[in-house]
Amino acid sequence: MRILVVEDEPSLRRQLRTGLEQAGYAVDAAGDGEEGHYLGANESYDAVVLDLGLPGLDGLTVLDRWRREGRTMPVLVLTARDSWADKVAGLDAGADDYLAKPFQTEELVARLRALIRRAAGKATSELLAGGVRLDGRSGRVTLHGEPVKMTAQEFKLLSYLMHHKGKVVSRTELIEHIYDQDFDRDSNTIEVFITRIRKKLGADLIQTTRGLGYSLNDQI
């Protein structure tokens, strides 16, 4: 899962990036509204953290533009403390959730996880496919109840496929959602990860549809 952070205050931006990366997300960060809008309009994100008070283009304008342009990713806005007017304006502009500053990074991560889950139509933080269970909160994966060790990239890839169960996901889409912008995106690595996941969780878990991509097999 890939997150965009738009926040002009450098220390908070760093803190958000670190917290989200530790929670297993690929993160891109922008320090002003122009750049933030550009990234959100042109890259693929599973969720966005958007500060409202930004230099140049303010957060509400950025959000409003994305929605007019048909960008539907979940957006959590950061508001000044106790500013109910900000909250109302943010929700009116199409925000999915808000958090008032100052906040705990843990709460932000939990809210983002819920937004991403809701966007995928899931009600709990546990995702199931066959005998595989993935807990987005603890970052644990089990196969028939037995814990399975996964690397961060394997976890990200499996998590994306499980959030999109029943759909064929292209290699390009996987690359866009599990790496941040600066990552060297060699699409062959996806195949390597898929091979490793199959070794750990069973050869039949992920199906390849030649020329189209990968999908999760729920019938195992």
> Using CB under 5 A as the criterion, which residues of the chain lie in contact with Ca ion when the complex forms?
8, 51, 53
Q: Which C-beta is closer to Ca ion: that of 51 or that of 154?
A: 51
User: What gap in Å lies between CA 148 and CA 146, rounded to an integer?
Assistant: 6
Query: Shortest Cβ contact with Ca ion: which residue?
Result: 53
Write out the two tokens for 121. Answer: 């139509």
Q: How far is the CB of 130 from Ca ion (least distance, A)?
A: 45
Q: How far is the CB of 74 from Ca ion (least distance, A)?
A: 20
Cβ–Cβ under 8 Å, residues 62 and 7? no
In angstroms, how far is the first alpha carbon of the chain from the final one? 25
Q: Which C-beta is closer to Ca ion: that of 19 or that of 53?
A: 53
Q: Which C-beta is closer to Ca ion: that of 1 or that of 52?
A: 52
User: What gap in Å lies between CA 125 and CA 91, rounded to an integer?
Assistant: 24
Q: How far is the CB of 102 from Ca ion (least distance, A)?
A: 12
Cβ–Cβ under 8 Å, residues 85 and 44? no
Q: Which C-beta is closer to Ca ion: that of 28 or that of 154?
A: 28
Q: How far is the CB of 181 from Ca ion (least distance, A)?
A: 22
Q: How far is the CB of 212 from Ca ion (least distance, A)?
A: 42
Q: Which residues pair with 214 in a beta bridge?
A: 169, 208
DSSP-based three-state secondary structure for 181: coil
Q: Which C-beta is closer to Ca ion: that of 59 or that of 74?
A: 59
Q: How far is CA 96 from CA 18, 41, 187, in A?
A: 23, 17, 32
User: What gap in Å lies between CA 119 and CA 196, rounded to an integer?
Assistant: 28
